[in-house]
Structure 1
Amino acid sequence: MRKSWSMPENHLKGIFRAFDTNGDGKLSKKELKVGLKSLGLHFTSIRAWRAIRHVDANGDGLIGEDELDELTKYVSKWGITVTP
């Protein structure tokens, strides 16, 4: 059975920002992977790689503040419903 959550967009963005352990304002694949694992999600390496590939608009291999909107949309594939 697939986990399903619902959370406000601003709360989800806050969670993603908390994954930024080195404080550079961007999420690396490793930071995203560790953060997703802390939420209890499975296949975190694959999810992190796909998420970065999908939302990384500038091609730097990281998810910046300006790319968080797209990341919050992308997580619907993981069973997370984002509410306004």
Structure 2
Amino acid sequence: MNFARTCDPLSSYGAPEHSARLAGGHASRILAALHDEKSLTAGEMAECTGMTVEQICRRLPELARTGLAQVVQFEGADLLRDGYRVWEAV
């Protein structure tokens, strides 16, 4: 399904496919970092992957919904380090 309007530039027609490929690449880089390091914050993942914190934070909820990553729990609450939640691969 394409949501580009007829007056949009040609690049708008390929944007959804490009975005999906980019998201998949980001997710795999995040998961690889989590598997290597066991648990990381978004800031630490950004350093490991070369991505920005914003890119990481955009993908983490998607990874949680699909059951591939989760926030580390400590005494019933989200574990925080340097103001970021700590994540692990599932």
Pairwise TM-score range, normalised by the shorter structure = 0.3 to 0.5
State the TM-score, normalized to the length of structure 2: 0.34
* Structure showing greater Rg: 2
State the TM-score, normalized to the length of structure 1: 0.36
Bigger RCO of structures 1 and 2 (CA < 8 A, at least 6 apart): 1
Q: Which has the higher strand share?
A: 2
